[in-house]
Amino acid sequence: MQAILALEDGRIFQGRGYGAKAECYGEVVFNTSLSGYQEIFTDPSYAGQIVVLTNPQIGNYGTNHADDEATRPYIEGLVTREFSPISSNWRSQQVADEYLERFNVPVISEIDTRALVRHLRTYGVMRGVISSLETNPEVLVAKARSIRKMDGTDLASVVTTKVRYEWDTSDPQNANEDPLALSPQPALPEPDMHVVAYDYGIKRNILRMLAQHGCRVTVVPAQTSAEDVLALNPNGVFLSNGPGDPEPVTYAQENIRHLMGKTPVFGICLGHQLIGLALGGKTYKLKFGHHGGNHPVQHTGSGKVEITAHNHNYAVDPDSLKQSEVDLTHIDLNDNTLEGLRHRSLPLFSVQYHPEASPGPHDSHYLFQDFRKMMEEWKK
């Protein structure tokens, strides 16, 4: 099966098609992770995006139910150097080719992904089309140029849960980080904290991490009012990751303003950006974003460097925040973007990266313990 990737600037890549025989549209970004492709497929933060994986061999360990971060893949399409039609791993339950075909995700492989990534680094992320149906490159370039831009697009309201639900730790897949592990997982502590988590595109491993720190979690839709959340009597509120531009998500910013000072608040990724906006700051779009599991971030207080997982296209402008109110806690060592903040007087903090990262790295797990300590102190 032949496939074509067409970018809006007219650059064309021709390769072999896998997954679904279909056509997909989205913003083309690249991820530098060496493993964890299934977690990337199923991360709701990738809604509206075609993902290029820089690791040259993808699909070789198959897929399984335990590694899903959501009920289905959210990437629009996948670009790889080599895509394995077979799997060689004892945990595999389905080859990646069949898995993506089942969810109608097209794949283009056997192209020069290094050239593509260098092109995106030079000119910035851009809209693109993968097609194993249309063979005319000019037609596909025109389609790429007609795709709605990510700027100004609220995707949190698209991917969020439609109904409130309780995170069920009795489900083996929910209770443990890896139900297929050879050694038994430690028993979860008895939950003595109640956390209400806003779902802007939440990942399952975030919910697992909260449960591992003794939290009973109620997940609510993105547009749930602050009043309804406070009526649930939470010990703390969590603001999740998610896709799209944070600026048009005004309902979330307003809710955060109403929650500040009334309960502890912890935000990750999109949640971090929304906190920045709620505090009166501004966000901006990065040239090619941060996507990967190997980004060095420094804690400004201790000087400690953490290797972290990232998946974001937007960042909070540190100069737009009031330094008298906000402590800038984490800085990216690659480009000096703001990666974490904490309010100086209110129980509120956030990070731009993913401390729950699965498969890793795990340097930043301590942030969930920090959230728990904040809730314990507030409870007193």
Residue 175 has pLDDT above 60, yes or no: no
Residue from 87, 30, 29 nearest 58 by CA: 87
Confidence of residue 169 (pLDDT cuts 50, 70, 90): confident
Burial class (CB in 10 A: 0-12, 13-18, 19+), 174: middle
Do the beta carbons of residue 99 and residue 87 sit within 8 Å? no
Percent above pLDDT 70 for the chain: 96
Cis peptide before 359 (omega within 30 of 0): yes
Are 4 and 135 in contact, with CB atoms under 8 Å apart? Answer: yes
Kindly report, residue by residue over 348-369, the tens digit of the pLDDT: 999 999 999 989 999 999 999 9
pLDDT grade, residue 300 (50/70/90)? very high
65 in catalytic set: no
Spatial separation of the C-alpha atoms in residues 349 and 331, rounded to whole Å:
14
Say how many C-beta atoms besides its own lie within 10 A of residue 201's C-beta: 27
Among 221, 1, 231, residue whose Cα is nearest residue 130: 1
Mean pLDDT of the chain: 95
d(CA 336, CA 198): 28
Q: What does the pLDDT look like over 194-213, one tens digit per residue?
A: 999 999 999 999 999 999 99
* pLDDT of 187: 83
Label residue 379 by pLDDT band (50, 70, 90).
Answer: confident
- C-alpha 256/C-alpha 247 separation (Å) is 14
Q: For residue 269, indicate whether it is catalytic.
A: yes
pTM of the model: 0.95
Name the DSSP class of 360: -
Instruction: Please identify which of the residues 8, 269, 290, 295 carries the catalytic annotation.
Output: 269
- Find the catalytic residue in 295, 310, 312, 354: 354
Per CATH, the number for 156-379 is 3.40.50.880
3-state secondary structure of 104: coil
pLDDT recorded at residue 313: 97
Query: Do 96 and 122 touch, CB atoms closer than 8 A?
Result: no
pLDDT at 328: 98
Query: What's the DSSP call for residue 59?
Result: S
Q: What is the CATH number of domain 2-146?
A: 3.50.30.20
Are β-strands 338-343 and 348-351 bridged in parallel, bridged antiparallel, or unpaired? antiparallel
Q: Residue 180: what pLDDT? A: 57
Residue 380 has pLDDT above 90, yes or no: no
Selected catalytic residue, list 8, 69, 306, 356: 356
Residue 356 appears among annotated catalytic residues: yes
CB atoms within 10 A of CB 6: 27
Helix (H) or strand (E) holding 377: helix 366-379
Buried-state track 41-59, b at ≥16 Cβ within 10 A, e below 16: bbbbbbbbbbbbbbbeebb
**pLDDT by residue (tens digit) across 105-160?**
999 999 999 999 999 999 999 999 999 999 999 999 999 999 999 999 999 999 99
Question: Cα-flanking dihedrals φ and ψ of residue 368, to 5°?
Answer: -70, -35
pLDDT band at 182 (very low <50, low <70, confident <90, very high): low
How many other C-beta atoms can be found within 10 angstroms of the C-beta atom of residue 374?
20
The whole-number pLDDT of residue 184 equals 65
Kindly list the domain boundaries of the chain, sorted by start residue.
Answer: 2-146, 156-379
